[in-house]
Amino acid sequence: MCVRIVLDAGRGLDWTVANMKTKFLAALTGMGVILFAAGCVSTVSGTKSPAMSWSEDRFAGQYERSPDQVYRAAVTVLTHNGVLITEYIPHDVTNSEPNSVRAMYGKVNDRKVWIRVEPVNPTVTSVTVQARTRVGFTDQDLVHELEKEIALQLQSMQ
């Protein structure tokens, strides 16, 4: 008499192991795609920030004001709506006059916000606003709102 001890189910359940390997490989591939899609974008201040979307995340406006007036208006708007974290002079351009291009970084409604102020010509100044969520998605509504508030602040400074 021959006794056969079977500890595993044998050939009857081989498909489950293959199915688990396929699911694991699919999950690993999905994570790879997500990590590949995530990247870094350049901010208007010349720094880099993590991003999950490469859609447009900035908006620019031009005003017939001096760079100092536009910068003061931008600081006022940013501190009124959130927290101003850093003010600095970007080094990605050659400044024709000292401190002509200035930028700031802050947070508004848990969103990262960058604002850049630079002269276009002696009478016109450009302000560019950029915002991203904590995980790196764009927030166009906040960008447009802040840019409009800067324009209104400039209007009230007259």
9 lies in a domain? no
Looking up residue 148, the CATH number of its domain turns out to be 3.30.160.110
19 lies in a domain? no
5 lies in a domain? no
C-alpha distances out from residue 76 to 70, 116, 118, 146, Å: 10, 14, 17, 11
State both tokens at 13. Answer: 């359940």
pLDDT digits (tens, 9 = 90+) for 47-60: 777 766 667 778 99
158 residues of the chain, pLDDT tens digit each: 666 665 555 555 555 656 777 888 888 887 776 665 566 777 777 777 776 666 777 899 999 998 899 999 999 999 999 999 988 876 656 555 655 789 999 999 999 999 999 998 888 999 999 998 888 888 899 999 999 999 999 998 87
Domain extent, residue 149, equals 39-156
The structural domain count of the chain equals: 1
- Global pTM value: 0.72
